[in-house]
Amino acid sequence: MDNHTPAPVTIRHLRKAFHGVPRVEDITFTVGPGRIVGLLGPNGAGKTTSIRMLLGLTAADSGEALVFGKPFRELSDPIRRVGAVLDAGGLHPGRTGREHLRIAAAQGYLPTSRVEEVLETVGMTDDAGRRIRDYSLGMRQRVAVATALLGGPQLLVLDEPANGLDPTGIHWLKQYLRSFADNGGSVLLSSHMLSDVAQIADDIVIIADGRVRTATSLDEALASSRGDLEHYYLSLTGTDERAPHAAR
C-alpha cells in the first residue's frame, strides 16, 4: 500500500456510550488491503458497536472510523465498495430469498442478473423461491452473505457470519473469504469461533471492555502463545482461569 492509497478500514480512538454507559472506550486498528482481520472479544466487548460505527449506522461520540479513507456516509456507491453481514441480515420472513436479493440489488442500482450470480455463489439457487420464514438459520446466513456479495465489494464486514452455518457452509465460507482476500479484497470478520479465525485470518484484533487489548498479526499472536490462540485470547480478555496460576 502506498501513502496515497487509504486503508480499507481505519479506526482511530473510537468511543461510544449508551445512556451514559461507555460501550466502546478506545478502539484503534486498521484493515489493510488483501488482509483478513479477525475481530475477537467476549460478548458485550464492543465488536458489533464498533462495526456499526464503521458502517455509519451508529454515530460515534468521538474518534473516527474510515472506509477507504472516508466516513462511510460519504462514500459514493457504497454497495460496490463494502458488503456487510449484520444481525439476521435484515430478512423479511414473508419474502422469498430471491425477492430479498432483488430489493437489495435495486437499492444499489445493480443489475438483476447479479441476484442469480450470488445465489449460485452461496449455493441457494434451488431454495431462492421459498419464503424466508421456511429457511433454516444457516440458509438465512447464506442469503445474508449473498446480499453482502451483490455489489462485488472490495471490503467485506462480517459480524458472526458463520452463525448457524453447518460444517459444509463454514468450510465454504472460509474458502471463499480466503480466496476473496487472495484476490485483493479485505475482510473484517467478527467471530467467536477462534479455531475458524485461526485458519483464515492474517491479523487479529482482540477487544474487551470496549478497549483494544491487542492488534497484531496472527503469526505473532501464535508465536507468543506457543500456537495456542485460545490461551492467548483468554489471557488478554481476563477470562483465562489458567492465567493467574501461570503467573505464580
Partner 1 sequence: MLRAEILKLTTTTSTKAAILIAALGLIATQLAFTLLLPALREDGAAGADVSAGLPIIDLTLPENQLAALNLFGASMSTGSIGVVIVAVVLLGVLAGTGDFRYGGLTGAALAEPRRSRIVLAKSGAAAAAGAVAGVLLAATAFLTLLATLLTRSAALNAPPVQVLGLLGRGVLAIMLLSLIGLAVGLILRNQLAAVLVMLGALVLEPVLLSIVQLAAGTLPTWAQFLPVSLSQAAVGSSGALAPGIALAALAALTATVLAAAAITLHRRDL
Residues that bind partner 1 (CB under 8 A): 52, 55-59, 72-75, 78-79, 82, 84, 86-96, 99, 102-104, 106-109, 147
How far apart are CB 153 and partner 1 at their closest, in Å?
A: 10
For the beta carbon of residue 95, count every other beta carbon within 10 angstroms: 15
Task: Enter the C-alpha cell of residue 175.
Answer: 474458502
Q: Reading across the β-sheet that carries 211-217, which strands appear in turn?
A: 62-67, 9-18, 21-31, 211-217, 203-208, 36-40, 186-190, 155-159, 82-85
How far apart are CB 222 and partner 1 at their closest, in Å?
A: 34
Q: Which residue, 60 or 194, has its beta carbon nearer to partner 1?
A: 60
The gap from C-alpha 21 to its chain's centroid, in whole angstroms, comes to 25
Q: Which residue, 94 or 167, has its beta carbon nearer to partner 1?
A: 94
Which ranges of 150-184 does DSSP label H, i.e. alpha helix?
167-182
Q: Which residue, 117 or 228, has its beta carbon nearer to partner 1?
A: 117
Write down how long the chain is.
248
One-letter identity of residue 153: P
Phi and psi dihedrals of 197, rounded to 5? -65, -40
How far apart are CB 144 and partner 1 at their closest, in Å?
A: 10
Strands of 53-165 (E only): list them.
Answer: 62-67, 82-85, 155-159
Nearest to 101 by CA among 46, 37, 146, 133: 146
Three-class DSSP category at 190: strand
How far apart are CB 9 and partner 1 at their closest, in Å?
A: 15
Q: Which residue, 37 or 84, has its beta carbon nearer to partner 1?
A: 84
Is-contact 115 102, C-beta < 8 A? yes
Q: Which residue, 52 or 174, has its beta carbon nearer to partner 1?
A: 52
How far apart are CB 140 and partner 1 at their closest, in Å?
A: 11
Q: Do β-strands 203-208 and 211-217 pair in parallel, antiparallel, or remain unpaired?
A: antiparallel
How far apart are CB 104 and partner 1 at their closest, in Å?
A: 6
Q: Which residue, 200 or 210, has its beta carbon nearer to partner 1?
A: 210
For the beta carbon of residue 29, count every other beta carbon within 10 angstroms: 23
Q: Which residue, 135 or 233, has its beta carbon nearer to partner 1?
A: 135
